Structure 1
């Protein structure tokens, strides 16, 4: 097992070591890296790519894993399960009988804004475009 899989940090992630560094300052840097990962020192390339490409989904997935693997309290939002979209945008289409994957594909095809996972009302024209795309997929 590599050091990275055991929780190691990428070389240079904490900066250069100085004799004046304390355990407190080192732990503070680790906390900062956990809160704001440094994409210059990725340990997990897939997570780094998601962090850079789609940060809201990255944050939701990180929260899910923290709940699942570290016992963190569950968050109110679950947009990671819905491709970064708020579930209130996706669920009505699922209730109509379309699969979640088909709805997500239609949203992406039409170019529906993820709005950082926050709920909003889709314009009627976009609703029509999504429905047309879903009908074509049948």
Structure 2
């Protein structure tokens, strides 16, 4: 088995996309597609470092989980068209996307909501999600309505 899209993972060859043959154990004709897909999903979540196909990814996974996650995200953006985390963070001005989304769902644009948050003085809370106080909600809505 192999991935067509390049993937940064200890058990996937970075050039061919082949999954290490030893990671699944022996194949059985009674294995269903469901069992196979569940095995792949589990492997993606929990790499088998005894059978690496990508030694560099395995080494980074063991030594620097954050570095591994960053490189895996970079590959996902580059080869699979995943959204860039940096772009999302910049787009939301450091605010948690869920906090912004509450106002976007009311019909306001992301940029307008971020500007209103900044104008009103909404705490970024290090990008963590939290419930915005009613007074701030009213102030943000008032500001957004002025610009509408």
Using the size of structure 2 for normalisation, the TM-score is: 0.46
Larger RCO of the pair (alpha carbons < 8 Å, separation 6+):
2
Using the size of structure 1 for normalisation, the TM-score is: 0.49
